[in-house]
């Protein structure tokens, strides 16, 4: 049924609307962007482009090439369900292997002619008269614009390096290396090095460079829980078995994903109901950390006093042991400033350095391009004033035909591939629905958006992050308002159920030059 919403004349000959240059633009050729592309092709939509700033696919695994990089959840679970890889060399694959996997998937998903590499998106602006997005971008040939009906933003939830705000960094006479943009032309051999940051990145870099540098100072602001990690080489026979019996790999993947889901549902999301889980897990990890560090003073500095799971729990086979070396120093005095010759800490001591590695993390959900919706509302500004929210982690009212994959409340805990499945799945569902209804605009209803945001913030109150045990943890799961937009606070199965009918929460309208037609089915 078609209903008019704005005085539609009965017998008008509709002048045709301008058509977009391309039906769908996907921003980012990481796993999310490729997942979106694969889903569009599966649903018969081939008219799309994937714009990517880098010169190839892989997203985070192309940018992050620091020493020691490897995935921190089992590779069998960190992969597309549709593209199982029987060839993982280890239970936790190295970064370069993840990049090769991404490149193979680009071919397998038949996406190779969809990419525009070396293309940096600068802004995207919605035109409410034509219901088109104008994407402004630049490539080697200069600036250009492109119109599209739908925009799927897959730029990554953690892609913009955070500014650590350390005074004097620009005065340093040595070399500063950013973990996210590792400079492989710089040799660390025999250098006096510092690593600032002891999150997932820092704990991989530290043991990987300790042998190469002359002396290593690790600057820790907040200690991390670091459990053991057993990274086993997968025997050839197992690989053959996985290749011959793909079903077996599907089962192993399902077990891995389910285990992660159970752990995060009961340990993180429903902490208020099951607080003993994190208490017990914390005790076990603390005991294992104690056993791995010889010096009691060092142990006391390395072992957190805040609760377990307030920050992403980490694992490493050798990070803690690295501090048993005499040439590796743990510095817990706060950094006062960087001076030309090194770092001065609050106790006045200067450590002389040749190189400073910044493993200081990312800006959460930072949009590296300007997104302007209806009535000139800018998305980052909207989030700043209205708090970070998105319906099903994907849509914001007033930003029609735009999907974030993922946006706030879209990340399902530790499982990136379920995050991608749900957010890009919803995006493609709504794109198809819009086309099927011959509509030009899909905008999530404010009531559905508010309802989801309310459910998410209410559920977030039970998460471990809101517990007093997380005070002092400096967790990036909490933003400046005390909200937890970096987590979709529902289990994978609940999130899957919630997103199944989510496309019905959108208003689908057809735009004509002078009025809009709402299309109900
Ligand atoms: P992160 O967890 O945010 O850690 C940043 C570290 O830098 C923290 O220890 C932080 O201290 C410290 N820091 C920041 N600014 C500082 C300053 N001004 N002075 C001193 N210390 C400062 O970032 P990350 O390690 O890059 O990891 C981010 C996320 O990326 C992970 O949680 C994970 O999701 C993902 N990741 C995954 C993998 C993998 O799968 N292999 C590897 C790396 C990263 P505070 O704790 O006090 O803030």
Task: From residue 264, give the alpha-carbon distance in Å to each of 189, 279, 369, 412, 470.
Answer: 41, 14, 32, 9, 16
Angle between helical axes of 246-264 and 236-244 (0-180°, round to 10): 100
**pLDDT of 513 over the 70 cut:** no
Closest atom of ligand 1 relative to the 361 alpha carbon: 23
- Distance (angstroms) between ligand 1 centre and the Cα of 358 equals 10
- Distance (angstroms) between ligand 1 centre and the Cα of 201 equals 6
Pocket mutation for ligand 1, best pick of 360, 415, 417, 477 (most atoms within 8 Å of C-beta): 360
Q: What gap in Å lies between CA 370 and CA 302, rounded to an integer?
A: 40
- Distance (angstroms) between ligand 1 centre and the Cα of 429 equals 34
Q: What gap in Å lies between CA 133 and CA 51, rounded to an integer?
A: 14
pLDDT of residue 510: 87
375 & 491 share domain: yes
- Distance (angstroms) between ligand 1 centre and the Cα of 81 equals 28
149 & 36 share domain: yes
pLDDT of residue 520: 54
What is the CATH number for 422?
3.50.50.60
More confident residue, 18 or 319: 319
190 & 295 share domain: yes
Average pLDDT (262-281) is 95
End-to-end CA distance of the chain: 6
349 & 221 share domain: yes
**pLDDT of 3 over the 60 cut:** no
**pLDDT of 9 over the 50 cut:** no
pLDDT band for 1, please (50, 70, 90 cuts): very low
Say if 86 falls within a structural domain: yes
**pLDDT of 512 over the 90 cut:** no
Beta bridge partners of 491: none
Tally Cβ neighbours within 10 Å of residue 158.
18
Structure-block tokens of residue 297: 């003073």
Say if 234 falls within a structural domain: no
pLDDT of residue 137: 98
Q: What gap in Å lies between CA 237 and CA 519, rounded to an integer?
A: 57
Bond into 251 cis (ω within 30): no
What are the pLDDT digits (tens) for 360-407? 999 998 999 999 999 999 999 999 999 999 999 999 999 999 999 999
Say if 249 falls within a structural domain: no
Say if 106 falls within a structural domain: yes
Task: From residue 311, give the alpha-carbon distance in Å to each of 214, 304, 308.
Answer: 31, 11, 7
Pocket mutation for ligand 1, best pick of 200, 222, 472, 479 (most atoms within 8 Å of C-beta): 200
Q: What gap in Å lies between CA 183 and CA 173, rounded to an integer?
A: 17
Pocket mutation for ligand 1, best pick of 70, 180, 199, 309 (most atoms within 8 Å of C-beta): 199
160's enclosing H/E stretch is strand 158-161
70 & 171 share domain: no
Closest atom of ligand 1 relative to the 476 alpha carbon: 3
Strand 370-372 to 120-127 pairing = parallel
pLDDT of residue 472: 92
DSSP state of 350: E
Say if 31 falls within a structural domain: yes
Cα dihedral sign, 41-36-460-503: negative
pLDDT band for 2, please (50, 70, 90 cuts): very low
Average pLDDT (100-106) is 98
384 & 324 share domain: no
- The residues lining ligand 1, judged by C-beta closer than 6 Å to any ligand atom, are 70-72, 158, 164-166, 196-202, 219, 221-222, 312, 335, 359-362, 474, 476
- The domain boundary, picked from 360, 394, 429, lies at 360
What are the pLDDT digits (tens) for 464-487? 999 999 999 999 999 999 999 999
335 & 370 share domain: no
pLDDT band for 4, please (50, 70, 90 cuts): very low
Going by alpha carbons, the residue nearest to atom 48 of ligand 1 is: 474
What are the pLDDT digits (tens) for 60-80? 999 999 999 999 989 988 999
Closest atom of ligand 1 relative to the 414 alpha carbon: 34
Closest atom of ligand 1 relative to the 69 alpha carbon: 41
Q: What's the structural domain count of the chain? A: 2
Pocket mutation for ligand 1, best pick of 177, 201, 309 (most atoms within 8 Å of C-beta): 201
Average pLDDT (161-165) is 93
Q: What is the DSSP string of 60-115?
A: HHHH---TT-B-SS-TTTSS-TTS--TT-SBSS-BHHHHHHHHHHHHHHTT-TTTE
Say if 288 falls within a structural domain: yes
Q: What is the pTM of this model?
A: 0.94
Going by alpha carbons, the residue nearest to atom 46 of ligand 1 is: 222
61 & 203 share domain: no
- Distance (angstroms) between ligand 1 centre and the Cα of 290 equals 22
What are the pLDDT digits (tens) for 313-327? 999 999 999 999 999
Going by alpha carbons, the residue nearest to atom 12 of ligand 1 is: 197
118 & 152 share domain: yes
Average pLDDT (247-254) is 91
Q: What gap in Å lies between CA 493 and CA 180, rounded to an integer?
A: 33
457 & 403 share domain: yes
Chain-centroid distance of CA 493 in Å reads 20
Say if 447 falls within a structural domain: yes
Strand 175-178 to 355-358 pairing = parallel
Say if 248 falls within a structural domain: no
pLDDT of residue 6: 40
Give the residue carrying structure tokens 């001065």.
344
Long-range contacts of 228-231 (CB under 8 A, 24+ apart): 228/288, 228/292, 228/315, 228/316, 228/317, 229/72, 229/92, 229/315, 229/316, 229/317, 230/91, 230/317, 231/70, 231/90, 231/91, 231/92, 231/317
Closest atom of ligand 1 relative to the 165 alpha carbon: 18
Average pLDDT (227-254) is 93
Task: From residue 437, give the alpha-carbon distance in Å to each of 118, 431, 509.
Answer: 35, 10, 9
Q: What gap in Å lies between CA 242 and CA 235, rounded to an integer?
A: 11
> Residue 34, SS3?
helix
Contact 4, 518 (CB under 8 A): yes
Average confidence score pLDDT of the chain: 93
Long-range contacts of 483-487 (CB under 8 A, 24+ apart): 483/387, 483/388, 483/457, 484/460, 485/364, 485/365, 485/387, 485/388, 485/389, 485/408, 485/409, 486/157, 486/364, 486/365, 486/408, 486/411, 487/268, 487/269, 487/409, 487/411, 487/413, 487/460, 487/463
Q: What is the DSSP string of 44-63?
A: T---EEEE-SSSSS-THHHH
Going by alpha carbons, the residue nearest to atom 14 of ligand 1 is: 360
What are the pLDDT digits (tens) for 336-350? 999 999 999 999 999
- Distance (angstroms) between ligand 1 centre and the Cα of 160 equals 12
Going by alpha carbons, the residue nearest to atom 33 of ligand 1 is: 200
Closest atom of ligand 1 relative to the 312 alpha carbon: 32
pLDDT of residue 514: 57
pLDDT of residue 515: 58
Torsion, Cα 335 338 343 345, to 10 degrees, reads: -30
Burial class (CB in 10 A: 0-12, 13-18, 19+), 150: buried
301 & 393 share domain: no
- The domain boundary, picked from 296, 329, 360, lies at 360
429 & 456 share domain: yes
Task: From residue 351, give the alpha-carbon distance in Å to each of 96, 99, 323, 339, 480.
Answer: 33, 36, 17, 10, 33
Torsion, Cα 133 134 135 141, to 10 degrees, reads: 150
Going by alpha carbons, the residue nearest to atom 4 of ligand 1 is: 199
**Residue 208 belongs to domain spanning:** 163-229+277-308+316-360
């Amino acid at each position: 049924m078609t209903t008019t919403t704005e005085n539609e004349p009965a017998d008008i000959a509709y002048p045709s609307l301008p058509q977009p240059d391309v039906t769908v633009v996907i921003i980012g050729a990481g796993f999310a962007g490729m997942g979106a592309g694969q889903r569009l092709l599966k649903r018969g939509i081939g008219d799309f482009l994937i714009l990517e700033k880098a010169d190839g696919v892989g997203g985070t695994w192309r940018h992050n090439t620091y020493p020691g990089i490897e995935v921190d959840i089992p590779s069998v679970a960190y992969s597309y369900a549709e593209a199982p890889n029987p060839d993982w060399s280890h239970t936790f694959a190295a970064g370069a292997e993840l990049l090769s996997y991404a490149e193979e998937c680009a071919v397998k998903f038949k996406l190779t002619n969809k990419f525009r590499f070396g293309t940096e998106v600068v802004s995207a602006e919605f035109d409410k008269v034509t219901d088109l997005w104008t994407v402004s971008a630049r490539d080697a040939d200069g600036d250009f614009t492109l119109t599209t009906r739908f925009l799927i933003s897959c730029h990554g939830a953690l892609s913009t390096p955070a500014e650590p705000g350390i005074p004097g960094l620009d005065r340093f006479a040595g070399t500063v290396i950013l973990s996210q943009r590792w400079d492989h032309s710089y040799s660390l051999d025999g250098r006096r090095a510092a690593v600032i940051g002891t999150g997932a990145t820092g704990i991989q870099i530290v043991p990987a460079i300790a042998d190469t540098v002359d002396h290593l100072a690790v600057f820790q602001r907040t200690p991390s829980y670091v459990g053991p990690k057993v990274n086993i080489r997968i025997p050839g026979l197992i690989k053959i078995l996985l290749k011959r019996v793909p079903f077996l790999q599907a089962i192993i993947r399902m077990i891995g994903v389910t285990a992660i889901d159970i752990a995060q549902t009961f340990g993180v999301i429903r902490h208020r109901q099951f607080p003993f889980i994190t208490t017990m897990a914390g005790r076990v990890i603390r005991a294992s950390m104690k056993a791995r560090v010889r010096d009691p003073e060092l142990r006391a500095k390395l072992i957190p006093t805040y609760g377990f799971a307030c920050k992403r729990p980490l694992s490493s086979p050798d990070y803690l042991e690295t501090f048993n070396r005499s040439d590796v120093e743990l510095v817990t005095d706060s950094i006062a400033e960087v001076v030309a010759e090194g770092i001065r800490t609050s106790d006045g001591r200067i450590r002389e350095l040749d190189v400073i590695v910044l493993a200081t993390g990312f800006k959460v959900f930072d949009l590296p391009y300007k997104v302007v919706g209806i009535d000139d509302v800018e998305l980052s500004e909207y989030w700043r004033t209205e708090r970070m929210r998105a319906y099903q982690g994907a849509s914001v009212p007033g930003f029609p035909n735009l999907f974030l994959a993922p946006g706030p409340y879209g990340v399902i805990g530790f499982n990136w591939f379920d995050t991608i499945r749900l957010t890009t799945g919803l995006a493609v569902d709504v794109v198809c629905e819009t086309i099927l209804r011959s509509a030009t605009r899909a905008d999530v209803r404010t009531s559905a958006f508010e309802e989801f945001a309310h459910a998410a913030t209410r559920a977030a109150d039970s998460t471990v992050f809101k517990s007093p045990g997380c005070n002092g943890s400096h967790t990036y799961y909490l933003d400046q308002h005390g909200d937890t937009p970096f987590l979709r606070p529902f289990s994978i199965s609940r999130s899957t159920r919630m997103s199944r009918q989510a496309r019905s929460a959108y208003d689908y309208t057809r735009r004509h030059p002078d009025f809009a037609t709402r299309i109900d089915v």
